[in-house]
Amino acid sequence: MAEEMKAKLKNYKTAPFDSRFPNQNQTRNCWQNYLDFHRCEKALSAKGDDVSVCQWYRRVYKSLCPISWVTDWDEQWADGTFPGRSELAAPPSPASSVLLPRW
Contact 56, 8 (CB under 8 A): yes
Q: Which is nearer to another protein, 25 or 81 (CB)?
A: 25
Burial of 70 (0-12, 13-18, 19+ CB in 10 A): middle
Per-residue string for binding with another protein, 32-61, x by CB under 8 A? ---------------------------x--
Q: Which is nearer to another protein, 43 or 59 (CB)?
A: 59
State yes or no: residue 66 binds another protein (CB under 8 A): yes
State yes or no: residue 102 binds another protein (CB under 8 A): yes
Please give the radius of gyration of the chain, using alpha carbons only, rounded to the nearest integer: 14
